[in-house]
Amino acid sequence: MTLNRRDFVAATAASALAMGVPSLGHSAEMTKYNLLAGKPFSGKKLNILSVVTPQFDGLMLRADEFTALTGIETEWTFIPFGSLQEKVVAEGVAANGQFDVINYLDSWGPPNSHWLVPIDDLLKRDKISMDRYPPAFARSAQFDNKTMGFPLRAHAQLMFRRADLIPNAPKSWDEIIEVGKKLKKDQPDVAPLALYFNNDGNRQNLFIWLNFLWAAGADVFDDKFNAAWSSDAGLKATEDYIALHTVHKVTNPSSLSFVEQDARQSFMQGKSAMIPVWWWAYSSMINPKSSVLKKEQVAFSGMPSYKGKTVTYAISMPFSISKYSKNQEASWEFLKWLSNPEMDKKNATEREVKGKSIINNVVTHAQNLQDSEVNAANANIQAAAWESLKNSDIMPQIPEWPEVGDILSAAIAKAAAGGDTRKLMVAAADQSNKILKRAGRIK
């Protein structure tokens, strides 16, 4: 039997992923985007599971380039964020390889890591460094000292405000309270601050809480995985977070029932004057199809400080290869194309792809966050995000986090509804410790 060069490269790549040793020999030439030369996987078709977002619409519409370069076809399935976690879990349970490439929230990675393909050896082979991402973004795609994918949708937190109502950016949460109380008197029809305390199953009500916790010098866990949020500093920080709603009453009264999307809608419909949220939301805030606000009414700044310090939460939605896929080698080629810095930049500066309007300001590479052209096209929001990311952290990357996070999220929701914050958070800490002892994480 004869084996041509393309078949040889494809066969050795298949063996490499199966054995975890990506050695293709000296004939493995690289082309544009570090893709393998010779189209060794031409004729393959990949099924991609992705969250619904204009960012990924733009990438999907550009996928003809990938097919032209590799001969690999792609089929995208888009799922709303609220339904994505259930879909990802179902794919892992089914273990049938329906999807070759999976998009998921970073904190869902550890409990699903057993069926995702580590890519560290492939990164080394193809000379791709995770240093191209801000550290928090890179860590969000890693678990147990292994890199599980690329953080292709990743976000920094910013504080957005109505520039016509609040000309100067509040620099601290104390200033937020002061500005909010004044605004309630001057603009009674506009709530000062939109927060999201709802226990939604995606743990969104922890996103701003973490800013308070970390700035106070507290943490989620200590180095032995005992709950650390029940320290004096952690409890005081949590009380101050909850007090925005229960004591100072500068939040939108509906914040108890708000998820993040509701809070954004409240801001975009002119019903709230401030919102701390992911930077990607800016494009929708100034889009006349989704917002009543004009561009000049929307301003953004870094997150406010707490106790004189600012630490923000960063998040990502990585893409990874399923171990159940029969097309793992072709999937790696796809990830290289999908994650390249050139594509990242195009997708945030070109406003139309194949006749479809694409409004997206998300980039994930450090070079693009600092790129003058990218910033010029997006009101310099990438520069603000870059500053936010200089002191950022991520959710704990442990398989038990969804269970522990749900307990915390429930406690936060009950506290915001008027419950005893300290008792609720101490009880949540006790539950967490029991879970992690049972899992063998606490000795």
**pLDDT score, position 16:** 53
Segment 287-310, tens digit of pLDDT: 999 999 999 999 999 999 999 999
Query: Which contiguous run of DSSP H or E holds residue 70?
Result: helix 63-70
**pLDDT score, position 6:** 47
Segment 367-420, tens digit of pLDDT: 999 999 999 999 999 999 999 999 999 999 999 999 999 999 999 999 999 999
**Count of all residues that appear for the chain in the document:** 443
Beta-strand relationship, 312-313 and 298-301: unpaired
pLDDT, one tens digit for every residue, the chain (443 residues): 344 444 444 444 544 564 443 444 334 577 899 999 999 999 999 999 999 999 999 999 999 999 999 999 999 999 999 899 999 999 999 999 999 999 999 999 999 999 999 999 999 999 999 999 999 999 999 999 999 999 999 999 999 999 999 999 999 999 999 999 999 999 999 999 999 999 988 899 999 999 999 999 999 999 999 999 999 999 999 999 999 999 999 999 999 999 999 999 999 999 999 999 999 999 999 999 999 999 999 999 999 999 999 999 999 999 999 999 999 999 999 999 999 999 999 999 999 999 999 989 999 999 999 999 999 999 999 999 999 999 999 999 999 999 999 999 999 999 999 999 999 999 999 999 999 999 999 99
Angle, helices 173-186 vs 232-246, to 10°: value is 10
Q: Are 426 and 420 in contact (CB under 8 A)?
A: no
Burial of 394 by CB count in 10 Å (0-12 exposed, 13-18 middle, 19+ buried)? buried
Q: Are 317 and 153 in contact (CB under 8 A)?
A: yes
Q: What are the two backbone dihedrals, phi and then psi, of residue 411, each rounded to the nearest 5 degrees?
A: -65, -45
Q: Are 195 and 258 in contact (CB under 8 A)?
A: yes
Q: Are 116 and 350 in contact (CB under 8 A)?
A: no
Alpha-carbon span 396 to 310, nearest angstrom: 19
Residue ranges of domains in the chain, CATH in brackets: 5-155+315-386 (3.40.190.10), 157-313+400-438 (3.40.190.10)
Instruction: Name, in order, each residue with C-beta under 8 angstroms of 279's C-beta and a sequence gap of 6 or more.
Output: 155, 156, 157, 158, 300, 361, 362, 381, 384, 385, 388
Q: How many CB atoms lie within 10 A of CB 134?
A: 24
Torsion of CA 417, 420, 421, 422, to 10 degrees: -170
Nearest Cα neighbor of 45 from 330, 286, 261 is 330
Amino acid residing at 214: W
Beta-strand relationship, 101-103 and 315-321: antiparallel
CA 202 to the chain's CA centroid: 12
Q: How many CB atoms lie within 10 A of CB 146?
A: 14
**pLDDT score, position 23:** 44
The token duo for 210 is 């973490």
Q: Are 404 and 381 in contact (CB under 8 A)?
A: no
Answering whether pTM is above 0.85, one says yes
Alpha-carbon span 44 to 338, nearest angstrom: 17
